[in-house]
Amino acid sequence: GQQVMQIPQYQHVQEGEDFTTYCNSSTTLSNIQWYKQRPGGHPVFLIQLVKSGEVKKQKRLTFQFGEAKKNSSLHITATQTTDVGTYFCAGRDSGYSTLTFGKGTMLLVSP
Amino acid sequence: DAGITQSPRYKITETGRQVTLMCHQTWSHSYMFWYRQDLGHGLRLIYYSAAADITDKGEVPDGYVVSRSKTENFPLTLESATRSQTSVYFCASRTTGEGSPLHFGNGTRLTVT
């Protein structure tokens, strides 16, 4: 079955440093979604990428979808303490109704 | 999101007991999902439903039963709870569009003693 690997599992940065999490799928994806979960909270949808090589930005967050549609990344520029949480990627194979989630990257930001 | 609610928020039960986790959404979303979240495993799909009276297994369905007699409700039942089912359970819903995002409930923290 489809597998989605996400690295790193955990990252601790100083406020102002950049952060990147990477997601790799064992199969070609039709789309990939990113979610953020604050400590004690529930996952919240951030964005969806559909096209090969697509790049989308949300303020300090940059999302990329690989040319082969098998990998993706989320980059945060100049982290803030409000960025703390776990970031999940979730990929969907063509023809399937469900998403497969990566295990997530927990981000801790120290002031 | 206020449109999808889970109950209870916390539950402690004993091994062997039956327990039902409730999920209710007010958006009339066609799809509903149950995930469990465990440290080191991320979010794993238990069961999902594409519409009322249509359910299908996810990645980890063993030990769980679901039903969907009404579009807005999707209860998850542990027929005979085991300690390995101690977890945080999230219900989610989405519209029929394949790219539509998941909307999660606040979760139920279940402890099986």
SS (H, E, C) chain B: CCCEEEECCEEEECCCCCEEEEEEECCCCCEEEEEEEECCCEEEEEEEEEECCEEEECCCCCCEEECCCCCCECCEEECCCCHHHCEEEEEEEECCCCCCCCEECCCEEEEEC
pLDDT one-digit tens code per residue, A23-65: 999 999 999 999 999 999 999 999 999 999 999 999 999 999 9
B2: confidence class by pLDDT, cuts 50, 70, 90: low
DSSP B85: G
Contact flag B50-A33 (C-beta cutoff 8 Å): no
Q: Give residue ranges of B with CB < 8 Å to any A CB.
A: 31, 33, 35, 40-45, 48, 50, 58-59, 90, 98-99, 101-107
DSSP β-bridge partners for residue A110: A14
A96: confidence class by pLDDT, cuts 50, 70, 90: confident
Contact flag A30-B50 (C-beta cutoff 8 Å): no
C-alpha B6: how far from its chain's center?
A: 9
- Cα dihedral B2→B33→B86→A6 (10° resolution): -100
Burial tier of B4 (Cβ tally within 10 Å: 0-12, 13-18, 19+): buried
Number of H helices, E strands in chain B: 0, 11
Residue whose pair of structure tokens reads 């601790």 in the numeric block: A12
Rounded CA gap, A109 and A107, in Å? 7
C-alpha B98: how far from its chain's center?
A: 20
| Among candidates A48, A88, A97 on the partner chain, residue whose Cβ is nearest the Cβ of B31 | A97
Contact flag A101-B107 (C-beta cutoff 8 Å): no
| Among candidates B58, B101, B107 on the partner chain, residue whose Cβ is nearest the Cβ of A98 | B58
**If you count residue pairs, one on A and one on B, with CB atoms under 8 Å apart, how many are there?**
53
- In terms of CA atoms, which chain B residue is nearest residue A49? B99
Rounded CA gap, B31 and A34, in Å? 19
| Among candidates A42, A88, A103 on the partner chain, residue whose Cβ is nearest the Cβ of B106 | A42
- In terms of CA atoms, which chain A residue is nearest residue B40? A103
Contact flag A41-B59 (C-beta cutoff 8 Å): no
pLDDT one-digit tens code per residue, B6-21: 999 999 999 999 999 9
Q: Would an 8 Å CB–CB cutoff place A103 in contact with chain B? A: yes
Backbone angles phi, psi at B83, to 5 degrees: -60, -30
C-alpha B99: how far from its chain's center?
A: 20
pLDDT one-digit tens code per residue, B51-62: 999 999 999 999
Residue whose pair of structure tokens reads 């139920």 in the numeric block: B108
pLDDT greater than 60 at residue B101: yes
B97 vs A1, which has greater pLDDT? B97
CA A104 to chain B, closest CA, distance in angstroms equals: 6
Mean pLDDT, chain B, integer: 95
